[in-house]
A and B are shown apart, each in its own frame.
Chain A
């Protein structure tokens, strides 16, 4: 009884022992190390017990010795089960094919649902999905995983700000958040336009209001640019000032980059191992040898198997090791300067509004020191410096 599992594996039989001296047969069994268990006396001349299939073959000589007779009542365990399955082949095949079909169908895309999209966006999304091959009847394994789909789809559908992708059983669900353009600005309350920062006026375009400055004039932060008070002095009218005032602003930026850079790249060498993981335990099935990479990146991919809407705890998994290499890149001075300039410009672009124009740049200072290139650059940028300032009505 100790390891019923092992006994189940090898098979065991229930047998009855008939004879006046069944005890003697028991003792013989023990002497020959034949395992029997769960012995029960039924009548004076009959006992019932269990014996492993293997040992059942060895008891014949013992029976002769003890003048007992044995008959097998029940056969249990895997070997008999297999025999039975062979006998009822149709039934077995039916069950296996049922499970296989269920597995296959559980891992096929059955439906693609799109929520929250206007007809146009939905059409775009459907088309993007078609291109990616996400449609009814596709195997889920052939498709990229949910995060990748989300990334690809968000890139392709331009009118959607965000697309959430979930795989719910066999249904792909897309939740779309559309870009909503800001509503038309309401007619604003009366206001002035003032300077956002210190600048030299480059150009101005006033739709409404009284311009107070001229090009090439210097303004400080907070200076009045366009007044909301128009009309004659004796009959002033207060309106919301509107317009664009472009000012030239000076930015200074300093960058320093090292002449030699160390970075890592992949060499292209790779090693893949395949696993079946059962309850998080990974059992290797292919690719046993260990990788010999000094530096590497490890990529793990899980492929869960679904049945109906559940995921079974057995899944396929592969792990890939990609070899990495350290590369040192050396710049000469000219290249370094060029890259430093580009970097500086990049930095600047982040700081200034999108519609700003870089009018000119001037290197103020450059030096090579301690293996580093240092650069100070001066930029002239033209941007809108108008800031709205309400006119308080109390005056």
Chain B
């Protein structure tokens, strides 16, 4: 189960992720224990990445859960 903390549109902090599937300056796709998390926006930078935590910086427009 992920725990997501957002500070405005600038920062998003995701705990309990299972890895990075895709990373570009406009889109980040993370693997979760169930399904995936898609974050859309601009100028993404991964500030820190640890086994279960990730801090993303940029302009975040959308956070989408993908269940399949």
* A26-42 with Cβ < 8 A to chain B: 26-27, 29-31, 33, 35-41
Any chain A CB within 8 A of the CB of B20?
A: yes
Given A23-B20, A26-B20, are A40 and B25 also a contact pair (CB < 8 Å)? yes
Report the minimal beta-carbon distance from B14 to chain A, rounded to whole angstroms.
13
Any chain A CB within 8 A of the CB of B33?
A: no
The A interface, classified by DSSP as helix, strand, loop or mixed, is mixed
Any chain A CB within 8 A of the CB of B67?
A: no
Report the minimal beta-carbon distance from B18 to chain A, rounded to whole angstroms.
9
Q: Which residue of A lies closest to B31 (CB)?
A: A27
Contacts of A23 on B, CB cut-off 8 Å? Answer: 20-23
Any chain A CB within 8 A of the CB of B9?
A: no
Q: Chain B: interface residue count, which band?
A: 10 to 19
Contacts of B21 on A, CB cut-off 8 Å? Answer: 23
Any chain A CB within 8 A of the CB of B38?
A: no
Any chain B CB within 8 A of the CB of A391?
A: no
Residue pair B20, A37 in contact (C-beta under 8 Å):
no
Report the minimal beta-carbon distance from A375 to chain B, rounded to whole angstroms.
87
Contacts of A22 on B, CB cut-off 8 Å? Answer: 23
Interface string of B1-43 (1 = CB under 8 A from A): 0000000000000000001111111000000000000000000
Report the minimal beta-carbon distance from B23 to chain A, rounded to whole angstroms.
5
> Bound state CA distance, A33 and B46, in angstroms?
16
Q: Chain A: interface residue count, which band?
A: 20 to 34
Residue pair A39, B45 in contact (C-beta under 8 Å):
yes
Q: Which residue of B lies closest to A26 (CB)?
A: B20
Q: Which residue of B lies closest to A37 (CB)?
A: B48
Report the minimal beta-carbon distance from B24 to chain A, rounded to whole angstroms.
5
Residue pair B48, A41 in contact (C-beta under 8 Å):
no
Residue pair B48, A2 in contact (C-beta under 8 Å):
yes
Residue pair A26, B48 in contact (C-beta under 8 Å):
no
Interface string of B39-68 (1 = CB under 8 A from A): 000001111111100000000000000000
Residue pair A47, B51 in contact (C-beta under 8 Å):
no
- Select A38's contact among B23, B47, B51, beta carbons within 8 Å: B47
Interface string of A46-72 (1 = CB under 8 A from B): 010100000000000000000000000
Report the minimal beta-carbon distance from B27 to chain A, rounded to whole angstroms.
9
Q: Which residue of A lies closest to B57 (CB)?
A: A38
Q: Which residue of A lies closest to B45 (CB)?
A: A40
Residue pair A27, B19 in contact (C-beta under 8 Å):
yes
Contacts of B48 on A, CB cut-off 8 Å? Answer: 1-2, 37
Residue pair B47, A37 in contact (C-beta under 8 Å):
yes
> Bound state CA distance, A22 and B24, in angstroms?
10
Interface string of A170-207 (1 = CB under 8 A from B): 00000000000000000000000000000000000000
* A299-334 with Cβ < 8 A to chain B: none
> Bound state CA distance, A47 and B45, in angstroms?
10
Report the minimal beta-carbon distance from B31 to chain A, rounded to whole angstroms.
9
Interface string of A1-38 (1 = CB under 8 A from B): 11000000000000000000011001101110101111
Binding site for B on A (CB under 8 A): 1-2, 22-23, 26-27, 29-31, 33, 35-41, 44, 47, 49
Jot down 27 A-B pairs with beta carbons below 8 A, ordered by A.
A1-B47, A2-B48, A23-B20, A23-B21, A23-B22, A23-B23, A26-B20, A26-B46, A27-B19, A29-B49, A30-B49, A30-B51, A33-B51, A35-B50, A36-B49, A37-B47, A37-B49, A38-B45, A38-B46, A38-B47, A39-B23, A39-B45, A40-B46, A41-B25, A41-B44, A44-B24, A49-B46
5 residue pairs, one from A and one from B, having the closest CB atoms: A39-B46, A27-B19, A41-B25, A41-B24, A23-B20
